Copies of this chain bind each other. A is one copy, B any other.
Amino acid sequence: MDMKLKQQASAITELTFDLLRCCEAKEKMFAKDHGLKVAEFRCLRIVEAGKSYSVQELATSMHLSPSRLTRIIDGLFAEKLVDRVQSIEDRRFAKISLTNKGQTLVGKLKEEYADLHGEMLKDISVEDRDKIYNGISLMQGLVSTWLVRNA
Q: Is A88 an interface residue (CB 8 A)?
A: no
Given the known A-B contacts A131-B135, A151-B29, are A121 and B15 also in contact in the complex, defined by CB atoms under 8 Å? no
Which of A2, A115, A120, A151 has most B Cβ within 10 Å? A120
Q: Is A51 an interface residue (CB 8 A)?
A: no
Q: Is the CB of B121 within 8 A of A8?
A: yes
In the complex, per-residue mask of A28-60: 1 if CB is within 8 Å of any chain B CB, else 0: 010000000000001001000000000000000
Given the known A-B contacts A9-B117, A13-B113, are A135 and B139 also in contact in the complex, defined by CB atoms under 8 Å? yes
Chain A residues touching B, range:
35 or more
Q: Is the CB of B22 within 8 A of A143?
A: yes
In the complex, per-residue mask of A122-137: 1 if CB is within 8 Å of any chain B CB, else 0: 1010101111111111
For A92, what are the chain B residues with a Cβ–Cβ distance below 8 Å? none
Instruction: Identify A129's interface contact among B12, B134, B144, CB under 8 A.
Output: B12
For A13, what are the chain B residues with a Cβ–Cβ distance below 8 Å? 113-114, 116-117
A92 to B24, CA, bound (A): 30
Interface residues of A, Cβ cutoff 8 Å to B: 2, 4-6, 8-13, 15-27, 29, 42, 45, 62-63, 113-122, 124, 126, 128-140, 142-147, 150-151
Q: In the A-B complex, list the 10 residue pairs whose CB atoms are closest, starting with the nearest.
A: A135-B135, A9-B118, A22-B143, A25-B63, A19-B140, A9-B117, A8-B129, A120-B142, A10-B114, A13-B117
